[in-house]
Amino acid sequence: MKVQTLRLPDALADRLDTLARATRRSKSSFIREAIERYLDDRQDLEIALHRIRDPGAEWIDHDEVARALDQD
């Protein structure tokens, strides 16, 4: 496992300290969890943007999708 140095604003560091004490979890565990969630969301966003920007992408009109779903 690699070690990273992180600088946090005082207010954010205080919130992290308070939460870690209250939950008896390490500050590192919260930081890892937050970064992992952010990266997952960011990767999903990048995939979506890539698909939107693809000039060969085929688009289906919202009304057409709604009609197709209502045909059950």
- 42-58 pLDDT tens trace: 999 999 999 999 999 88
pLDDT for 72 equals 56
Give the span between the Cα atoms of 45 and 32, in whole angstroms: 20
Query: Residues 29-34: what's their mean pLDDT?
Result: 97
Element (H, E) at 60: none
DSSP 56: T
Residue 68 exposed, middle or buried by CB count within 10 Å (0-12, 13-18, 19+): exposed
Does the model's pTM come out above 0.85? no
Residue 37 exposed, middle or buried by CB count within 10 Å (0-12, 13-18, 19+): exposed
Residue 32 tokens, joined: 């890892």
pLDDT for 22 equals 98
